[in-house]
């Protein structure tokens, strides 16, 4: 299933958004990284450190949450090398625990770090490494085993996680195909994968993106209508947005305007809570070029402020500032800049206002790093 990349379809400067808007996020928001690190340190002291050497440590779920969150923090700070090193160390850590105890729960704990390593490889454009990891994981459903460094793990030991492995590796395939504009490959997946994954909303959304880019508009509309009939709420509106994109690409301007305004009305009546909901609301705000005084804008900005989401709130405030050079908006952006450790946020604000890059103290982050080192060196 290898094809040459095709450029994303553009009509009048517009290209369909080539990512899965339907995907739920692993985190609830993008909060201040020092506060996030502090909360993880407190969790470590309460729920992890006292139990590291207990015989039932394999049942401790908090360590998985801590490691998953910490590697995210490193990624957001721009420390990709350190994030990679931690992920590899963690995989080896759980693998050694498995060898020492033959407790299969330790291998199950290694699955999420392995997936995160594949995702990091994709971010770093290390596509061969990405495929090596994904194909290795996928092999457990075909060959009956997977290999974790020097350890062979049998299919039976992962029987309770086969569904998770199948679904998550399929979704990661969709992501790399979308990133590389491999639209024909997306359509071909139905030939090679079972219905339980190709009937998922993730595949249907990727299929629609592919059909739009291949100018198969009638087919795209047919899939959209079918999914909308079976869904509701935010998911249904996301597919409605894909119809808006079809109409844009077809030059059906009046119909596209009607669709986006209908979505806007729906979003006013919808209580956006999760990160997926809020980022989709932001997308509608951007498409309609709304300012900070609009009702939906105020609602989303208020929720992002409440969550302390520095990443999305910055993007939203900058878009407002571009429309109207409001000093109050600039002050809010400057306030975020004075404390944020998100590398993308810092660079974006610095570039916009010609601010000098500043280094924010990372005391809790350093403590968190030491805590994790304590765990990884406990064997």
Query: For the chain, what are the domain ranges?
Result: 30-180+362-379, 181-243
Lowest-pLDDT range of 124-133, 245-254, 266-275: 266-275
Secondary structure, 3-state, the chain: CCCCCCCCCCECCECCCCCCCCCCCCCCCCCCHHHHHHHHHHHHHHHCHHHCCCCCHHHCCHHHHHHHHHHHHHHHCCCHHHHHHHHHHHHHHHHHHHHHHCCCHHHHHHHHHHHHHHHHHHHCCCHHHHHHHHHHHHHHHCCCEEEECCEEEEHHHHHHHHHHHHHHHHHHHHHHHHHCCCHHHHHHHHHHCCHHHHCCHHHHHHHHHHHHHCCCHHHHHHHHHHHHHHCCHHHHHHHHHHHHHHHHHHCCHHHHHHHHHHHHHHHHHCCCCCHHHHHHHHHHHHHCCCCCCCHHHHHHHHHHHHHCCHHHHHHHHHHHHHHCCCHHHHHHHHHHHCCCCCHHHHHHHHHHHCCCCCCCCCHHHHHHHHHHHHHHCCC
pLDDT by residue (tens digit) across 146-197?
Answer: 777 677 877 787 778 888 888 899 999 999 999 999 999 999 999 888 888 8
pLDDT bucket at 305, cuts 50 / 70 / 90:
very high
pLDDT by residue (tens digit) across 251-271?
Answer: 999 999 999 999 999 999 887
pTM confidence score:
0.90
pLDDT of amino acid 52: 81
pLDDT of amino acid 249: 94
pLDDT of amino acid 37: 94
- Please give the average per-residue pLDDT across 239-248, as a whole number: 97
């Amino acid at each position: 299933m290898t094809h040459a990349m095709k450029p994303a379809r553009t009509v009048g400067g517009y290209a369909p958004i080539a990512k899965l808007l339907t995907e739920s996020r692993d985190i609830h928001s993008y909060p201040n990284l020092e506060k996030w690190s502090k909360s993880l340190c407190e969790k470590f002291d309460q729920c992890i450190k006292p139990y590291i050497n207990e015989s039932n440590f394999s049942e401790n779920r908090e360590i998985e949450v801590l490691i998953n969150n910490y590697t995210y923090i490193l990624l957001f700070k721009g420390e990709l090398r350190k994030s990679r090193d931690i992920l590899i160390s963690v995989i080896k850590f759980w693998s050694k625990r498995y060898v020492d105890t033959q407790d299969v729960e330790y291998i199950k704990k290694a699955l999420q770090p392995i997936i995160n390593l594949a995702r990091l490889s994709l971010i770093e454009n290390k596509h061969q490494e990405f495929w090596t990891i994904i194909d290795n994981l996928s092999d457990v459903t075909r060959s009956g085993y997977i290999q974790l460094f020097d350890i062979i793990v049998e299919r039976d030991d992962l029987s309770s996680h086969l569904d998770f492995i199948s679904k998550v590796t399929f979704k990661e395939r969709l992501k790399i195909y979308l990133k590389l504009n491999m639209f024909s490959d997306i359509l071909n997946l139905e030939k090679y994968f079972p219905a339980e994954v190709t009937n998922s909303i993730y595949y249907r959304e990727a299929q629609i993106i592919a059909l739009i880019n291949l100018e198969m508009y009638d087919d795209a509309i047919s899939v959209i209508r079918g999914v909308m009939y079976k869904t509701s709420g935010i998911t249904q509106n996301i597919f409605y947005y894909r119809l808006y994109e079809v109409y844009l690409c077809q030059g059906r301007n009046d119909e596209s305007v009607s669709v986006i305004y209908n979505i806007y009305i729906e979003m006013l009546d919808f209580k956006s809570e999760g990160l997926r909901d809020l980022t989709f609301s932001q997308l509608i705000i951007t498409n309609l070029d709304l300012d900070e005084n609009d009702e939906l804008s105020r609602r989303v900005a208020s929720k992002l402020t409440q969550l302390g989401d520095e990443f999305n709130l910055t993007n939203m405030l900058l878009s407002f500032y571009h429309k109207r050079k409001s000093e109050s908006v600039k002050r809010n952006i400057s306030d975020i800049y004075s404390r944020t450790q998100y590398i993308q946020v810092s660079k974006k604000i610095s570039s916009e206002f010609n601010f000098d890059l500043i280094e924010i103290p990372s005391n809790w982050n350093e403590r968190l790093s030491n805590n994790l080192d304590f765990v990884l060196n406990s064997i």
